Amino acid sequence: MISSLKRHKRRFSGIAAIGFTALALAACNTSFSSQPDGGIEFRENRHAEITAMREYRDCRDEALVLDAKARQAGSPARYLASARMIEGCEAALGPESARLALEERMRAYALSIQNYFKGGDIAKARDNLGKFKTHFAGSDLYYADGASFSDTMTLVLGEADDAALGEFSTVNVSPELKAELRRVRYWQRN
């Protein structure tokens, strides 16, 4: 009887151990899959985002080198090449990475708008300014003197109605630009 009881006790202990192990493994398995930031899919997506940003930054850095060469040489062709390259870098990033490094990407895209302007492609600069305002809606960049990038480029590219702006007092642009635009307006009228 005692040996029978020991056998049942060992059998019960073995079954209980197997059941406990199975229950523990099931609990571990469900806890990993229920975590939104711990699954394999999240890690794959994060790796893809990091890779995309690394490629974007490499591309952007090449465009910045072209921009520096354009400034040194005063070459409109190099300004245009730099602008096209920055635009390509942004396009290659893709919509799945649209929320990554927004300010960094805004600065690069703003540079492309300025470089299209400096390169003489005003239509493309206007088009990209519209894309900038749409894509980065509600955000703006500011120059060192506090002037708004969007307002400044809107005025410089002729997108704003001069009459609606009065004497440019409602726009956040530099005093030098306001003075120059007032001078141009004066000589156009007189």
Domain ranges of the chain: 48-137, 140-190
pLDDT at position 140 over 50: yes
> What pLDDT is stored for residue 61 in this prediction?
94
Structure tokens at 137: 């809606």
pLDDT at position 171 over 50: yes
Contact by Cβ (8 Å): 149, 120: no
Beta strands (DSSP E) in 106-150 are none
For 31, 73, 111, 162, the CA distances from 178, given in Å and listed in that order, are 61, 28, 21, 11
Q: Quote the CA–CA distance of 156 and 141 in Å, as a whole number.
A: 16
pLDDT at position 22 over 70: no
Centre a 10 Å sphere on the Cβ of residue 17 and count the other Cβ atoms it contains: 10
pLDDT at position 164 over 50: no
Contact by Cβ (8 Å): 106, 139: yes
Q: Quote the CA–CA distance of 127 and 113 in Å, as a whole number.
A: 9
Identify the residue with better confidence: 42 or 126: 126
Tell me what the pLDDT averaged over the chain comes to.
79
pLDDT at position 33 over 50: no
Tell me the residue type at 100. L
Q: Quote the CA–CA distance of 163 and 154 in Å, as a whole number.
A: 14
Identify the residue with better confidence: 19 or 113: 113
Q: Quote the CA–CA distance of 157 and 38 in Å, as a whole number.
A: 48
Centre a 10 Å sphere on the Cβ of residue 119 and count the other Cβ atoms it contains: 21
Tell me the residue type at 137. A
Give the DSSP letter of residue 95: G
pLDDT at position 157 over 90: no
Contact by Cβ (8 Å): 122, 139: no
Centre a 10 Å sphere on the Cβ of residue 183 and count the other Cβ atoms it contains: 10
Residues 60, 61, 66, CA angle at the centre, nearest 5°?
95
